[in-house]
A and B are shown apart, each in its own frame.
Chain A
Amino acid sequence: MTTFIQDHLSDLWILATASLVAISCALVGVFLILRRQSLMGDAISHSVLLGIVLAFMLSGTRDLPVLLGGAVLIGLVTAWLSDSLHKVGNLQKDAGIGIVFTLFFAIGVILISLYAGQIDLDQECVLYGEIAFVPFDTIIWGDMENGIDLGPRAFWSIAIVFALVLASIWIAFGRLQTVSFHPSLAASLGINVLFWHYFLMTLVSLTTVASFDAVGAILVVALLVIPAASAYLLAKSLKNMLWLAALYAEVAVLTGYALAVWLDSSISASIAVCAGLLLFLTVVGLQIHKLRLQKRAVKTLA
């Protein structure tokens, strides 16, 4: 048994990291879907690239707090700027979002190509992430020679963010529920809807930046939106939906990893593809169910 674990240690680390990434994304995504802010999730996950690059250029490190700070800042700026373009520039909401995130992402890519070689980032890793290399970048407690290997850096960053996300949902469950399902009721009850909007955007930024190492900037969108949307189709309550979304995410991780090993393709992309296929199966199942119900209704009528 112990030899099995030792042989597959890196696989286990990859799976653990991917699971945490996918579940955190799915939990946050549930609120994005309910608040009809999926496109904002798309936008923030793109802009976060600029946040990471800027934070790295200004501080010269890739320490977690710095990256988290940069990403949260740029995520909030994205949300705020697209809102103000909508209000001041009299633009449609999605147009405002589109202009802001493409600009931020473009600047991020340009900076990466300008300082290629000096930043530990390239266009490839922006797209795919490097989940396959996650086990090699570990945190060591103590000195280099005989310290204790605590496991991959990416794992610990997403673990911290996962804990944050979980705690926020746990503590603010009631508020989030009211704000998501009935924003005008929430406003009339004296809940600060704007605050919770930006709170949610902060969670999205945190999750995307912690997932960045593992799955890259764009595939995060798939993990944010797709499992949550699948859960949305089936769930009857918010709690139910959160559990279902997490379940969908975990199944996608396991099947996606198997698919990637089989095809020798990118792990993160395969996970996202599997999430999509699961959604497809759900939709097909629901459609068949609907047809059956219709047929039965026709029969009873006839």
Chain B
Amino acid sequence: MQDFTLLNQPDVWELWLSFWRFEDINALWVLMGSLLLGMGAAVIGSFAFLRKRSLIGDALAHAALPGVMTAFLLFHSRDPWIMFSGALASSFIGFFIIDWLPKHTKIKPDAALAITLSFFFALGLMLLSYIQGLEVENKSGLDKILFGQAAAMTQDDIRLLAYVTVFILLVVTLFFHKFRLIAFNRLYAQSLGINIAFYELVLALLIVMAVVVGLQLVGVVLMAAVLLTPMAAARLWSDNLKTILLIAGLLGALSALISTQISYLAPAMPTGPWMVVSLAILFVASLLFAPQKGLLQRAWQQRRLRHKVAEENLLRTLYKLCERGDFHTRSFSLAEIQALRAMPVSRLQIHLQRLAKNGLVSHCPQGWCLTDAGFEQASLLTRRHRLWESYLNERADLTPEQIHLQAERIEHILTDEQSRQIEAELSSTQTDPHGQPIPAATAKSGDAR
């Protein structure tokens, strides 16, 4: 298969340099426009996401198509404002139908979305094919709004784009508190006397506007992703809506930057798909690497918890061994340990070595021995375990077999404060339900780890 050769041409580098020397004023315009669009769409799309209507942008973008075609048929011109009004009108009709169908017929919301989307799109395509059969001027380039072509944008288009996106960002800033309240707690907003219907309409109008001005750049088919993906990625980074919106805007702008660069260097490339691909890459990166909510971080934390649990269990086993020997010796062989806590020797070695690193056990002639710090830690854990068992036995009316499993889990997360509370509530803190003595709290029983 023949490779794609465009990027290997020697002048690509020069072209790129000249772009950043801002020699091509038109390219600069396109860049500004797409940056604004990326931000505006991401911010307004976030609210659609919060209202659990992530795919509304998809349907509205498809619904704009027949409006554009009708406007062209009526006025025979490609003036941006005419196109914009046509698209706005038909998107709004689409929005109305999506809302109306589930309320008045048996049709479910998701089906209403799919019906509106596909019907309007078909209508638009039918009109487009009809126009292409007509003998009219200016008709070339109409089909560019299907996939978006940044290079085909005129200065008028970009001026309109800039006005509309700045307007969107301003309105969002102005009504931010109301929008946030409605997005998170509709009922509460209603009880405060906020006119929900009005703000929902404003929000819908803003979404429609963002979708419609984005058509030239991103295209009908893929507009959904520009609204949806930045928010999906941004919410992994923070829990604060303001921060999330800011990040979503940045991600949107970044993807716009990447895609217009590619479209500038290889003019045959449609802009929209590249924008979607770069957004998806940003999303996957966020999903993996975001702090706290990222998958890698989560996996790492789980691993750490597993290790902690395994090591603490081991310490408790060592304590039990000490107990059996009436605390005469603190050193035991691997076989002795294994008899009480069954696990492969290799894993046992690894855990013991990690404990040794923390100064809790040390090597000795017989095998391994608990250090003073290790013994203290082990008795603390055993104390928590047995306190919890006594507590459950007294209060929860469970059999001793049941309570052991519960205590196995809780001993790792019980805090000092909690164990003191349990101690205060228990009648006897001498022995646990199995009859084994509960180790006394040492002077400095502060959680060592």
Residues on A lying within 8 angstroms of B by beta carbon are 33, 36-39, 41-42, 46, 57, 88-89, 91-92, 94-95, 97-99, 102-103, 105-107, 109-110, 113-116, 118, 123-124, 127-128, 218-219, 221-222, 224-226, 229, 232-233, 260, 263-266, 269-270, 272-273, 275-276, 279, 283, 286-287
B230-248 CB contacts (< 8 Å) to partner A: 232, 236
Please give, as numbers and ranges, the residues of chain B lying within 8 Å of A118 by CB-CB distance.
1-2
Report Cα–Cα, A296/B107, bound state, in Å: 25
Q: Are B106 and A232 in contact (CB under 8 A)?
A: yes
What residue in chain A is nearest B273 (Cβ atoms)?
A: A106
Report Cα–Cα, A92/B229, bound state, in Å: 12
The listed residue (B4, B122, B143, B146) touching A222 by CB distance below 8 A is B122
- Check: B92 CB closer than 8 A to any chain A CB: no
B92-134 CB contacts (< 8 Å) to partner A: 101, 104-108, 110-111, 113-115, 117-119, 121-123, 125-130, 133
The listed residue (A103, A225, A287) touching B111 by CB distance below 8 A is A225
The listed residue (B101, B128, B222, B236) touching A106 by CB distance below 8 A is B222
Interface of B is mostly: helix
Please give, as numbers and ranges, the residues of chain B lying within 8 Å of A115 by CB-CB distance.
1, 4
Known: A265-B126, A276-B123. A102 touches B225 (CB 8 A): yes
Report Cα–Cα, A233/B105, bound state, in Å: 8
Q: Are B147 and A123 in contact (CB under 8 A)?
A: yes
Q: Are A270 and B52 in contact (CB under 8 A)?
A: no
Known: A105-B222, A116-B268, A232-B107. A269 touches B117 (CB 8 A): no
The listed residue (B104, B277, B280) touching A287 by CB distance below 8 A is B104
Q: Are A98 and B228 in contact (CB under 8 A)?
A: yes
Please give, as numbers and ranges, the residues of chain A lying within 8 Å of B232 by CB-CB distance.
89, 91, 95, 99
Please give, as numbers and ranges, the residues of chain B lying within 8 Å of A219 by CB-CB distance.
118, 121-122, 125
Please, what's the 1-or-0 string for B210-237, where 1 marks a CB less than 8 Å from any CB in chain A?
A: 0000000000011011001100100010
Q: Are B108 and A266 in contact (CB under 8 A)?
A: no
A-B contacts, 12 of them at CB < 8 A, read: A37-B110, A91-B232, A103-B276, A106-B222, A109-B147, A218-B221, A229-B111, A264-B133, A265-B129, A275-B119, A276-B118, A276-B123
Report Cα–Cα, A218/B236, bound state, in Å: 31
Please give, as numbers and ranges, the residues of chain A lying within 8 Å of B1 by CB-CB distance.
57, 115, 118
Q: Are A42 and B117 in contact (CB under 8 A)?
A: yes
Report Cα–Cα, A230/B127, bound state, in Å: 24
Please give, as numbers and ranges, the residues of chain A lying within 8 Å of B104 by CB-CB distance.
287
Known: A226-B118, A279-B115. A39 touches B110 (CB 8 A): yes
Q: Are B222 and A102 in contact (CB under 8 A)?
A: yes
- Check: B270 CB closer than 8 A to any chain A CB: yes
Q: Are B122 and A94 in contact (CB under 8 A)?
A: no
Q: Are A276 and B115 in contact (CB under 8 A)?
A: yes
Please give, as numbers and ranges, the residues of chain B lying within 8 Å of A46 by CB-CB distance.
221
The listed residue (A92, A222, A260, A286) touching B105 by CB distance below 8 A is A286
* Distance of B129 from chain A, by nearest CB (Å): 4
What residue in chain B is nearest A271 (Cβ atoms)?
A: B122
Known: A94-B54, A110-B274, A264-B133. A273 touches B122 (CB 8 A): yes
- Check: B272 CB closer than 8 A to any chain A CB: yes
What residue in chain B is nearest A90 (Cβ atoms)?
A: B293
Q: Are B133 and A222 in contact (CB under 8 A)?
A: no
* Distance of B305 from chain A, by nearest CB (Å): 18
Report Cα–Cα, A124/B132, bound state, in Å: 13
Please give, as numbers and ranges, the residues of chain B lying within 8 Å of A92 by CB-CB distance.
49, 52, 54
Report Cα–Cα, A113/B295, bound state, in Å: 34
What residue in chain B is nearest A282 (Cβ atoms)?
A: B105
Size bracket of the B interface: 35 or more
What residue in chain A is nearest B278 (Cβ atoms)?
A: A106
Report Cα–Cα, A97/B229, bound state, in Å: 11
Please give, as numbers and ranges, the residues of chain B lying within 8 Å of A270 by CB-CB distance.
122, 126
Report Cα–Cα, A36/B221, bound state, in Å: 22
Please give, as numbers and ranges, the residues of chain B lying within 8 Å of A272 by CB-CB distance.
118-119, 121-122, 126
Q: Are B129 and A269 in contact (CB under 8 A)?
A: yes
Q: Are B121 and A128 in contact (CB under 8 A)?
A: no
Q: Are A99 and B118 in contact (CB under 8 A)?
A: no
What residue in chain B is nearest A228 (Cβ atoms)?
A: B111
Q: Are B276 and A106 in contact (CB under 8 A)?
A: yes
Known: A263-B130, A269-B126, A270-B126. A113 touches B270 (CB 8 A): yes
What residue in chain A is nearest B118 (Cβ atoms)?
A: A222
Q: Are A222 and B274 in contact (CB under 8 A)?
A: no
Report Cα–Cα, A105/B62, bound state, in Å: 15
* Distance of A251 from chain B, by nearest CB (Å): 16
Please give, as numbers and ranges, the residues of chain B lying within 8 Å of A123 by CB-CB distance.
146-147, 270
- Check: B264 CB closer than 8 A to any chain A CB: no
The listed residue (A88, A91, A114, A226) touching B119 by CB distance below 8 A is A226
* Distance of B207 from chain A, by nearest CB (Å): 14
The listed residue (A95, A128, A229, A233) touching B49 by CB distance below 8 A is A95
12 more A-B residue pairs beyond the given contacts A102-B280, A107-B273, with a C-beta to C-beta distance below 8 A: A38-B110, A42-B114, A89-B236, A98-B55, A99-B280, A102-B228, A102-B276, A105-B222, A115-B1, A226-B119, A270-B126, A283-B105
Please give, as numbers and ranges, the residues of chain A lying within 8 Å of B49 by CB-CB distance.
92, 95
Please give, as numbers and ranges, the residues of chain A lying within 8 Å of B269 by CB-CB distance.
110, 113
Q: Are A265 and B54 in contact (CB under 8 A)?
A: no
Please give, as numbers and ranges, the residues of chain B lying within 8 Å of A109 by CB-CB distance.
147, 270, 272-273
Q: Are B111 and A107 in contact (CB under 8 A)?
A: no
The listed residue (A36, A103, A226) touching B225 by CB distance below 8 A is A103
Report Cα–Cα, A38/B118, bound state, in Å: 11
* Distance of A265 from chain B, by nearest CB (Å): 4
Please give, as numbers and ranges, the residues of chain A lying within 8 Å of B388 by CB-CB distance.
none
Q: Are B129 and A128 in contact (CB under 8 A)?
A: yes
Q: Are B126 and A41 in contact (CB under 8 A)?
A: no
Known: A57-B1, A99-B229, A273-B122. A106 touches B129 (CB 8 A): no
- Check: B287 CB closer than 8 A to any chain A CB: yes
